[in-house]
């Protein structure tokens, strides 16, 4: 019999899907009705997450071979292929679902005034993409996981293609949407090769076809010990699938265009939630499945991450479009994700958790502010701005606050995340850690450039004629949306322990399953000796 907690898991996915479908049905009745239905749908999803948070237990059993799930929901689906609708939640997935639900509420709120055409169909796509993301965080049947992974991309394609803006460089929104779709589809197919490879090897070993997480974890660990070359190849397939979405240099080409052309809610979705699914996938699947192969690959991954950190910062300097600048800062920050993952200890994993939550809030808030600035100045070109600080009491304060958060000012969540990652990775990778720490100086520079060009100086005379006079400051709805992000960042910065306690058990299990490079050979030798002994007996 299913307990109430277990039944919450399918509800977390179904509520956004059903609410989105109703938004589309009532579109012709009234323009405002879909907005309210979407908002109610995401608020209900957030409340369900809070209930899970309050009633779940998040403890780690020492030496456990599989993660300890706080709640599980399983229904047979395609029995002949061993595929089930298998959902489960632990501390890691719970925090990610909570972030998705919260940013979903903010995404609906920030598109309230911006979206005026096909309002119902817009909210259908927005909510279905959020439902797909929640599915990714909860699915532990690999077939179901892949189903949600691919499904969440289609609504985002429509969000960019139908409601996007023309970029400052003249590229169309359809071009950006198509580029995003091709990149992510190709990456998804490469990841599918990795998943099917595991299933085939599992069938060869056990004579059983299955996509379940625990079953494939055993198959992957056995391969990792017995056939390191095969394990490495499958690990690379899965890594590429997640790396494109993260995005890791040089697989990042889709991100700046997708951000620049996406509507505000689409950018919140992309920056705040979508790239977190890739970090989650690496944490949940790649590291525990292939610990020895991952340890072998660690240097390459971290070097790619470091290149991304400096490349993203350098490209951010060059940008004149506010949105493109922020898109490149995301590429820069995601380099820290790779350092945290492959340093592979509890400190870096916990730092990564805080960083994902803080980056989700700060980048989402900044993209919302891009939309607010564009609404008032009719441009995102930093060369045409300037001198708006004196005309906006609230907007200029929030812009400075969130840029400060993004560059890692102490007292806010981003600082805690970066500090834990650097502290945890120094013992194992001192040179890489020092280089990553130096990059924080560049973050401060592009943050200051953004604030200086947008808020200070004198207004551009050519652009001034397009302004309404006097310029309207943020209204109550916009202030509330930004306040939620600001309070979240302060909470993460001052009381990170409340989140670290929830994720600790999941991260301890992953850290326990990760094998440092120097131990890899010993583990493989031990496993081989044991298998030989079994054969002799």
Range of the domain at 502: 4-536
**pTM for the whole thing?**
0.88
Q: Could you give the 3-state DSSP secondary structure of residue 139?
A: strand
Q: How far apart are alpha carbons 405 and 420 in whole angstroms? A: 16
Local structure of residue 313 (DSSP, 8 states): H
Instruction: Give every CB contact of residue 377 below 8 A, 6+ residues apart in sequence.
Output: 384, 385, 388, 463, 466, 467, 471
Q: Who contacts 52 (Cβ-Cβ below 8 Å, separation ≥6)?
A: 5, 8, 70, 71, 89, 94, 97
Residue whose token pair is 């070109």: 381
Number of folded domains that form the chain: 1
Strands (E), 370-410: none
Asked if residues 361 and 107 have their Cβ atoms less than 8 Å apart, the reply is: no
User: What does the pLDDT read at residue 147?
Assistant: 92
Q: How far apart are CA 178 and CA 199, in angstroms?
A: 31
Q: Can you spell out the DSSP letters for 31-65?
A: SSHHHHHHHHHHHHHHHHHHHHHHH------TT-S
Q: What is the pLDDT along the chain (537 residues), one digit of tens a residue?
A: 456 677 888 999 999 999 989 888 887 777 778 888 888 999 999 999 988 888 777 766 555 667 778 888 888 888 888 888 889 888 889 999 999 999 999 988 888 877 777 778 888 999 999 999 999 999 998 899 999 999 988 898 888 888 877 654 546 788 888 888 888 899 999 999 999 999 898 888 888 888 888 888 888 888 888 888 888 999 999 999 998 888 888 888 888 888 888 888 888 888 888 888 999 999 999 998 888 888 888 889 999 989 988 888 888 888 888 888 888 888 888 888 898 888 888 889 999 999 999 998 998 999 888 888 887 777 777 777 777 777 777 888 888 899 888 888 888 888 998 889 998 888 888 888 888 888 888 878 888 888 888 888 677 666 666 666 667 777 888 888 899 999 999 999 999 888 888 888 888 888 887 754 434 434 434 444 444 454 444
Which residues pair with residue 78 across a beta bridge? 83
Residue 490, CA distances (Å) to 39, 81, 357, 399, 441 in order: 25, 47, 12, 15, 22
Of 345, 347, 342, 351, the C-alpha closest to 511 is: 345
């Amino acid at each position: 019999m299913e307990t109430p907690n277990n039944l919450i898991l399918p509800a977390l996915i179904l509520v956004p899907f059903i609410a989105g479908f109703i938004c589309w049905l009532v579109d012709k009745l009234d323009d405002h009705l879909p907005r309210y239905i979407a908002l109610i749908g995401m608020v209900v999803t957030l409340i369900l997450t809070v209930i899970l948070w309050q009633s779940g237990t998040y403890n780690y059993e020492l030496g456990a071979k599989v993660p300890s799930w706080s709640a599980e929901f399983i229904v047979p689906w395609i029995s002949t292929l061993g595929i089930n609708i298998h959902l489960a939640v632990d501390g890691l997935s719970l925090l990610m679902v909570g972030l998705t639900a919260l940013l979903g509420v903010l995404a609906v709120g920030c598109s309230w005034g911006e979206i005026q055409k096909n309002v119902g169909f817009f909210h259908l796509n927005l909510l279905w993409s959020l439902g797909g993301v929640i599915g990714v965080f909860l699915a532990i049947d690999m077939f179901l996981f892949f189903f949600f992974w691919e499904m969440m991309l289609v609504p985002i394609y429509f969000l960019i293609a139908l409601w996007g803006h023309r970029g400052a460089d003249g590229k169309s929104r359809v071009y950006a949407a198509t580029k995003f779709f091709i990149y992510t589809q190709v990456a998804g197919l490469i990841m599918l090769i990795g998943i099917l490879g595991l299933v085939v090897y599992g069938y060869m070993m056990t004579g059983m076809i299955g996509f379940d997480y625990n079953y494939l974890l055993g198959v992957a660990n056995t391969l990792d010990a017995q056939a390191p070359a095969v394990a490495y190849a499958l690990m690379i397939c899965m890594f590429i699938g997640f790396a494109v979405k993260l995005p890791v240099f040089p697989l990042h080409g889709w991100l700046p265009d997708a951000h620049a052309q996406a509507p505000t809610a689409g950018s919140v979705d992309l920056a705040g939630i979508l790239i977190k699914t890739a970090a989650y996938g690496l944490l949940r699947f790649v590291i525990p499945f292939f610990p020895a192969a991952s340890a072998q690959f660690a240097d390459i991954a971290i070097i790619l991450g470091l290149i991304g950190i400096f490349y993203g910062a350098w490209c951010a300097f060059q940008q004149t479009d506010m949105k493109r600048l922020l898109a490149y800062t995301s590429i820069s920050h995601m380099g820290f994700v790779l350092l945290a993952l492959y340093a592979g200890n509890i400190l870096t994993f916990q730092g990564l958790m805080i960083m994902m939550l803080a980056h989700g809030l700060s980048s989402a808030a900044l993209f919302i502010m891009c939309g607010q600035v564009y609404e008032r100045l009719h441009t995102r070109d930093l060369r045409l701005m300037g001198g708006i600080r004196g005309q906006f009491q609230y907007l200029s304060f929030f812009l400075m606050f969130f840029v400060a958060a993004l560059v890692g000012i102490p007292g806010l969540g981003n600082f805690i995340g970066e500090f834990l990652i650097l502290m945890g990775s120094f013992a194992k990778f001192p040179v890489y850690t020092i280089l990553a720490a130096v990059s924080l100086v560049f973050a401060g520079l592009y943050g200051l450039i953004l604030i200086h060009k947008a808020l200070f100086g004198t207004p551009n005379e050519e652009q001034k004629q397009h302004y309404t006079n006097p310029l309207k400051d943020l209204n109550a709805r916009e202030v509330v949306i930004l306040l939620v992000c600001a309070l979240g960042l302060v909470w993460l910065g001052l009381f990170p322990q409340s989140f670290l306690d929830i994720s600790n058990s999941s991260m301890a299990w992953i850290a326990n399953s990760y094998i440092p490079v120097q131990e890899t050979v010993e583990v493989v030798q031990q496993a081989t000796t044991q298998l030989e002994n079994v054969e002799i007996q």
